């Protein structure tokens, strides 16, 4: 069927969508994911004419953080934790994401890296740190003989990409923390490396990466090293020297405790 739109109208419409924030085309026809929820139940057929229809009971408000705690605690191993996250219905980020991004690398490795959230490439592939920041991270790890193929495990605070790579909301982080803590418990690394402020907020409850970086802290029973996020280092290469010092610190600690 030939389009009824002329070239200039189609171009204007496309530009308008880009202005609204569209960054890519996913499929031919738009999908309103909010409409994919199951339809609301119909009013009871039995109500007699003249009588007020029965008032449906109010759904109990759900505390997403308590729900996350319950579900995370019930997961006995990493695959079931992944399944619990995949079925978690209280985080709207899931609606806009293509894939759940759970982890990569070697579960049980001594070093577990915690990033912020998937970006575009991670969302497409369902693996953390595979875009430009991930390539930077791989180079940083390789400089101290670490690699996701051998001896590092990677995850993010958020398993779904925030649209437009916007900053995660505090409530989104809060409801993912129980899953992250359980993730750490099940992967049982010796050391956690926190990339950037979002993971510092989630794990240490504080931000201020320029102050925190390079200083060992303790969380969830483990030594924790905050570092500049590789995406930040790509934008601010002048801070690579500090990141190198932090990598050497991690290497020394790995060598000292083996
Ligand atoms: N940045 C992150 O924090 N995590 C990723 O997986 C990719 C980019």
Cα-to-centroid distance, 116 and ligand 1 (Å):
5
* pLDDT at 1 (0 to 100): 47
Structural domain includes residue 145: yes
Cβ-based neighbours of 245, under 8 Å, separated by 6 or more? 214
On the question of pLDDT at 88 being above 90, the answer is: yes
Note whether residue 47 is domain-resident: no
Residue 155 lies in domain: 100-256
Report d(CA 9, CA 14) in Å as an integer.
9
Q: For residue 125, is it within any domain?
A: yes
- 3-class SS at 200? helix
- Our count of domains for the chain comes to 1
* Centre of ligand 1 from the C-alpha of residue 148, in Å: 14
Two structure tokens written together for 134 = 């991930």
CATH number at residue 159: 3.40.470.10
Please give the model's pTM, rounded to 2 decimal places: 0.80
Q: 125-169: per-residue pLDDT in tens? A: 999 999 999 999 999 999 999 999 999 999 999 999 999 899 999
The torsion angle over the Cα atoms of residues 18, 20, 26 and 28, rounded to 10 degrees, is -80
| Residue 246, domain member (yes or no) | yes
Ligand 1 centre and the CA of 117: distance in Å?
5
Which of the residue ranges 4-8, 14-18, 44-48, 231-235 would you say has the lowest mean pLDDT?
44-48
- pLDDT tens digits, one per residue of 93-124: 999 999 999 999 999 999 999 999 999 999 99
Within 10 Å of residue 84's Cβ, how many Cβ atoms? 18
Flag whether 12 is in a domain.
no
- Residues 243 and 152: their CA atoms lie apart, in Å, by 17
Ligand 1: which of 93, 128, 141, 172 to mutate, judged by most atoms within 8 Å of the beta carbon? 128
Which tokens go with 227?
Answer: 């570092």
Ligand 1-lining residues (CB < 6 angstroms): 115-119, 122, 128-129, 131, 133-134, 156, 195, 231
Q: Which of 129, 197, 229, 232 to mutate to test the pocket of ligand 1 (most atoms within 8 A of CB)?
A: 129
């Amino acid at each position: 069927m030939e389009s009824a739109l002329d070239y200039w109208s189609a171009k204007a419409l496309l530009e308008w969508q880009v202005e609204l924030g569209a960054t890519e085309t996913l499929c031919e026809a738009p999908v309103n994911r909010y409409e994919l929820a199951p339809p609301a139940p119909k009013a009871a057929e039995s109500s007699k004419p003249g009588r007020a229809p029965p008032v449906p009971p109010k759904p109990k408000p759900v505390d997403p953080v308590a729900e996350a705690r319950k579900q995370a605690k019930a997961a006995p191993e990493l695959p079931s934790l992944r399944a619990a996250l995949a079925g978690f219905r209280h985080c709207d980020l899931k609606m806009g994401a293509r894939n759940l991004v759970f982890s990569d690398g070697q579960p049980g490795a001594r070093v577990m890296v915690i990033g912020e959230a998937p970006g575009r490439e991670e969302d497409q592939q369902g693996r953390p740190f595979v875009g430009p920041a991930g390539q930077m991270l791989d180079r940083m790890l390789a400089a101290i003989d670490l690699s996701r193929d051998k001896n590092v495990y990677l995850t993010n605070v958020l398993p779904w990409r925030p649209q437009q790579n916007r900053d995660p909301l505090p409530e989104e982080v809060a409801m993912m923390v129980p899953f992250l803590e359980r993730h750490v418990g099940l992967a049982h690394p010796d050391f956690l490396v926190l990339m950037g402020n979002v993971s510092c907020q989630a794990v240490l409850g504080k931000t201020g990466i320029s102050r925190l970086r390079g200083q060992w802290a303790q969380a969830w029973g483990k030594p924790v090293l905050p570092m500049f996020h590789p995406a930040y280092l790509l934008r601010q290469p002048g801070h690579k020297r500090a990141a190198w010092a932090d990598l050497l610190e991690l290497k020394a600690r790995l060598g000292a405790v083996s």
